[in-house]
Structure 1
Amino acid sequence: MKNVLVVYFSQSGQLEDIARSIAAPLIDAPDVKVTFYEIEMEKPFPFPWNKETFFDVFPESFLQIPAAIKPVPQEILETKFDLVLLHYQVWFLSPSIPMNSFLKSTYAKQILNDTPVVTISGNRNMWAMAQEKVKALLVENNARLKGNIALVDRAAHLVSVVTIVEWMFSGVKKKHLGIFPLPGVSDEDIKGAKKFGNTILSSLQSGDWGGLQPKLVAQDAVNISPYLIAVDKKGNYVFSKWSAFIIRKKGEARRRLLKVFVVYLAVAIWVVSPIVYILHLLTYPFKLRKIKKDAAYYKSV
């Protein structure tokens, strides 16, 4: 009997739906036992969010400062798992505070030690740098990363900004104003994620993890946008400056700085981002070698 642990944190329910879709073939397999573990915070985050609370978690999110999580059930801690499916969201270009808190806990060190892991993220569109941070934490926990799946909102970059923000602040997944597409990972992609579960099951049963990621990539588990990777890298640099400055402030000084940061972010998204995209298109032919190299790297584990 193979033991599989599905780890996730979900506010809207989207990531749980993804987790259950991928896990479905494993659940149906007679020689596999699947256990679900939802990360729970000692101090829960709100959903829907309000604007002030949402941006207030920016410094801690980006700087990967952990918060207290509720104890992992003893039954999970006493089980040696043959595979862990690790599902996470991206908050401010870093793994979410709940996932970061789990990965930095003693529980994760015990569960993940010398254990094959497949990471699965459900995102708006930028995930590459957050995945690098997750990979670093997996190394610290002596885990063995064998696969990565990155599911994204397929809407245009600026369109998804509008729809995701509306979803986070209203708590309702709907077509904003009746004209925008539904926010988040599409229902079709969530249901279709079952195919990844079949591929993972094959590797689990055979014990051959070496060819898993190429098989997942062939199933479109990871799609690379050179433009978004460039924005992700630049965003990480800028966020590192803002977060380091804001984290040192308390009370009203912090609130004032966060308000300035929100204005900066709006300008960066709606004014700077389109200009950067045009420059990206103009320079694209001259960067093909680097783009291909980056694509190969981020599709791998």
Structure 2
Amino acid sequence: MKLNNSQYDAIMRMYDAKQSHARAVQNSRCEEINARLPEYDALRKESAEVSAEAARAAVMGDMTKRARLADKLASINEEKQLLLAAAGYPEDYLDLHYECPACKDTGFIDGKKCSCFKQAAIDLLYNQSNIKKILLLENFSNFNYDWYSEDYVDPVSGISALENIINVTKDVNAFISDFPSGQNLLFYGDTGVGKTFLTHCIASELLGRGHSVLYLSAIDLFDLFSKYTFDNNSEADYRDAFSQILDCELLIIDDLGTELTNSFTNSRLFYCINERILAGLSTIISTNLSLEELMNTYSERIFSRLTMSYGIYKIFGDDIRMKKL
């Protein structure tokens, strides 16, 4: 699951297409403004002439003339902005608008891969097209508090399912607003109460903000760990995939506890969550196991990391899947 040359080239072609699109949009807008506002076009041409003259003055060492021309250029640019505003255009209408302003659709910032490149690699390596389709439906726009009843009261906490989910989503929204902050979340509760839906909501929000998100079921996660560890012929191929698990900005592990648990899965899970804690990278885990079951299923070291480094939220209520029928 290492990026091969064709996959890398495909990502770079995607960036080339994005840059070409941004330039095409900018050119179209420039033509529109020049046609609609002839005085703007005249100022644009004057600005180009003044800029060229200022450059010549700098080459000749005439700093006094260069400073005077710089003031004139600033005045022309101010006139241009006033013309745009008077015609109802936003100040940045003629700027290049990149899909990723951070790297300007190049995939790299100061020679390092941008988070958008990492996400593109994740999507290729893990074929996340299916999860992205799900996120079109399962996001905060489609989240409904009516799924949670005021009459369903947790006997331990004494609060209703509705009050509980309101409190949980408040903290979830804070997690999203503060991201990246290194915070971690653990959602536990019965099947069908909305744990996975909530992780989808978080993934949708953070992907929309340009962060790299890797979404894996616990079974798929440990399958990758197994192949990386035991399949000597595929170790190099899985190196990039393994790296993304440890390095993505947000790792979501869904349905922890559905995998076959043994000493290997225990050691790999500890390594994964511990490395991400040390790196200050966020992880979200959902599970149908109770806290007691988590403690009995996994090692003391894992349970300690979860209780000390994760915000733990119990989600309860009626089976939402039945309410959607």
Select the structure that is richer in strand: 1
**TM-score of the alignment, normalized to the shorter chain, above 0.5:** no
Query: TM-score when scaled to structure 2?
Result: 0.27
- Higher CA-based Rg: 2
Query: TM-score when scaled to structure 1?
Result: 0.29
Select the structure that is richer in helix: 2
